[in-house]
Amino acid sequence: MEQARLRARELGLTPGIFNTGTHNAITDVAGVAVGHVTLIDGEATRTGVTAIIPHAGNPFTDRVPAGLAVINGYGKLAGATQLAELGELETPIILTNTLAVGRAVEALVDWTLARNPDAVSVNAVVGETNDGRLNDIRARGVGAEHVLAALDAATDGPLAEGCVGAGTGTMAFGFKGGIGTSSRVLPEGLGGWTIGALVQANYGGVLTMDGIPAGRELGKWYLKEHTDRGDADGSVMVVIATDAPLSDRNLTRLATRAMAGLARTGAAFSDGSGDYAIAFSTHPGVRRDAERRAQQAVIADWPNDRMSPLFVAAAEAVEEAVLNALTMATTTIGRDGRTGRRATGHAIDLDALRAILARYGR
């Protein structure tokens, strides 16, 4: 019988120094909503869509500043160049599998055009990881209707994690990966801001959990045998939201700190990995609505010398989001999209993990 899954904190893993938000999720940033569509069909389809909506208004007319960080660019992140050039989001962010990016872009454009009759250019932002180890990715099971359903399903509050949405078929560190989320709240003396992270974990390396070498203890890590490529390749998409009044420049800096959180989990950042992070701010003082753009209004800008606590919080939230993706994921049987053979992604054994944590005094 499948083990009951637990979040990292329920197992005694508490990375970092800052407190979490109410739900310990990206939705602790007010206004942010997340929706999943999970596709499990027959023996082969194990994939899905996750939608992140930055606020309850119209993302196209009421744009949020955003920043992008890339550490290894083996990926198909649609909309990346305009995001980097203009420093803003004008659509929700969609996460899905590699071969579904085109269909997701079309669906997100349709969704945006339906709400904006004057729009003639839409920068649809769609990220991906390749779930072909458990999903018949060549069958291209994700359609526009699934993207639209994920957008319609978006909600705030507690979020499903593990084998849901865009994490349905992913692997991480040789274990079943998935979607994970976490948040941090700064003390009032540091601004009182909330930082939330959501990850689509599908990458590898030498798994470290809150400083504990869990991958080595469990006998599974990259380069265990020099003739085996191991579990390094793969990709990860990170989305960070905050209510702090940040410029796109400082949001780019914040997105870069996501890589520190990934590094703490033992990420290899390998040649075949796409490692991307997008950060955006929901603060009303930095929104780029039509009136503000027309008036060339001065916008709020949190000072550079007060960014360090936000950097720490972002790294912590990303690290814990990855841990949640792993501990909440369930063993999944699918079909390798390359070979067509039956494949199993084994969830990390929580009983074995508890024993390891006990040895390390957790």
Per-residue pLDDT tens over the stretch 118-171:
999 999 999 999 999 999 999 999 999 999 999 999 999 999 999 999 999 999
Q: How many CA atoms lie within 13 A of 128 on its CB side?
A: 23
Backbone angles phi, psi at 115, to 5 degrees: -100, -5
Type of residue at 347: A
Q: Indicate whether 275 pLDDT > 90.
A: yes
For residues 362 and 359, give the distance between their C-alpha atoms in angstroms, rounded to a whole number: 7
| 270 flagged as catalytic | no
| 41 flagged as catalytic | no
For residues 288 and 301, give the distance between their C-alpha atoms in angstroms, rounded to a whole number: 13
Count the neighbouring beta carbons within 10 Å of the beta carbon of residue 333. Answer: 12
**pLDDT value at residue 296:** 67
Active-site hit among 182, 235, 247, 270: 235
- Of 313, 241, 301, nearest to 92 by C-alpha is 241
Active-site hit among 62, 136, 248, 275: 275
What digits encode the pLDDT tens for the residues 335-346?
999 899 999 999
Superfamily of domain 8-357 in the CATH hierarchy? L-amino peptidase D-ALA esterase/amidase (3.60.70.12)
Cβ-contact 108, 58 below 8 angstroms: no
For residues 94 and 251, give the distance between their C-alpha atoms in angstroms, rounded to a whole number: 19
DSSP 3-state assignment of 44?
A: coil
Q: Indicate whether 226 pLDDT > 70.
A: no
140 alpha-carbon distance from chain centroid: 21
Type of residue at 129: T
**pLDDT value at residue 1:** 57
- Of 196, 213, 139, 191, nearest to 306 by C-alpha is 191
- Of 244, 318, 307, nearest to 277 by C-alpha is 318
The 3-state secondary structure of 205-242 reads ECCCECCECHHHHCCCCCCCCCCCCCCCCEEEEEEEEE
The length of the chain, given as a count of residues: 362
DSSP 3-state assignment of 153?
A: helix
Active-site hit among 247, 270, 273, 281: 273
Average pLDDT, the chain: 94
| 275 flagged as catalytic | yes
For residues 43 and 38, give the distance between their C-alpha atoms in angstroms, rounded to a whole number: 15
**Extents of the domains making up the chain:** 8-357
